[in-house]
Amino acid sequence: MDYKKLTIGQMAELNRVSAQTLRYYDKFGILKPNLYNKETGYRYYNISQCAVLDTITHMKSLNMPLEQIKAYIDTGDYDSFISELTDKHTKIKKEIRRLESIEAVLKRKINDYQKRSLLPADGIPYIEVIHRRPIYKFDTHINYYYNGNSIDQYEHMLRLFKNHLLEKGLGIEYFYNVGSIMKKEDFINQNYVSTELFIFLEDRHSFDTYDIIEPNTYLCMTCENTDIETEYIQMMRDTIEKNHYQAAGDYICEVVNESFAFDSQKRNMTLKLQIPVTFHKP
């Protein structure tokens, strides 16, 4: 093999690219054959041109467009090329963060669906130790409870929260299974006020500020019907009194599972009602 006179087939085989690719690079003007025989029309490459081909292949693997690669090869403008690489790096990091957010949400959604089948029967109080949970919460200043049209009111609250996330440029992929919070004092005093909505955060790098639900022992109940949530809250309050527990934090209504009810065109949700408690001897 004459390394100073490689045919297009030989050059392609040596570099594990197609002859069609080399022809395209020739036509594009980024890598032309070193020799051209006018009589036969044959074109030949010098093996030293593999360095150029390696540069093209490597830069393409980094998603650099051929136009930018050609400009670098033609002009040798190193500073401009570094600037292009830096810009590409910034965009890639942003895309990686976006994909990591989606991955975190997918993991949580899978866990939520799997957890649903493990929950105790509807309306049965139970005790569970729950780990530390980061959340992002938003105060809508609208009370969901005791409203003449609670479903519509809830949807209005969700719109406010969703628009807030969009305005702050936060990942809309987090906007699902939105829960609500009732202050401990309101829970204890049977004052049904819940204006704060929240989402769980598996990945927090997109959020400058967030809150933490500290690990605790919780009195919990599964609620399959959102219309009777307040009745179940009263049952939880009765359980606390009967067992001499003490509410130790805010009441949380976690949406474990949510689907679309085709018959009524509204949300079909499974709720996990929970209040942190401490234990005291009677």
**The pLDDT value given to residue 180:** 94
Average pLDDT over residues 21-27: 94
First-to-last CA distance in the chain? Answer: 95
Q: Say which residue, 22 or 168, is predicted with more confidence.
A: 22
Band of the pLDDT at 235, cuts 50, 70, 90?
very high
Q: What is the pLDDT of residues 200-218, one digit of tens each?
A: 887 666 677 889 999 999 9
For residue 252, pLDDT over 60 is answered with yes
For residue 266, pLDDT over 80 is answered with no
For residue 239, pLDDT over 90 is answered with yes
Tokens of 233: 């809250």
Q: What is the pLDDT of residues 145-166, one digit of tens each?
A: 755 566 778 889 999 999 998 8
Q: Say which residue, 129 or 37, is predicted with more confidence.
A: 129
For residue 179, pLDDT over 90 is answered with yes
**The pLDDT value given to residue 254:** 93
Which of 99, 89, 2 shows the shortest CA–CA distance to 47?
2
Q: What CA–CA distances, in Å, run from 239 to 187, 196, 247, 268, 270?
A: 13, 25, 11, 27, 21
Q: What CA–CA distances, in Å, run from 30 to 24, 75, 181?
A: 9, 12, 61
Residue 8, helix vs strand vs coil:
helix
User: Which stretch of 78-87, 145-154, 224-233, 239-248 has the lowest confidence by average pLDDT?
Assistant: 145-154
- Position 168, amino acid: K
Average pLDDT over residues 40-54: 91
Average pLDDT over residues 100-129: 84
To the nearest whole number, what is the mean pLDDT of the chain?
87
Band of the pLDDT at 247, cuts 50, 70, 90?
very high
Q: What is the pLDDT of residues 62-114, one digit of tens each?
A: 888 899 899 888 888 888 888 888 888 898 888 888 888 788 778 877 887 77
Contact 184, 217 (CB under 8 A): no
Alpha-carbon dihedral 98, 104, 109, 112, rounded to 10 degrees: -160
**The pLDDT value given to residue 282:** 60
**The pLDDT value given to residue 148:** 56
Tokens of 242: 């009967």
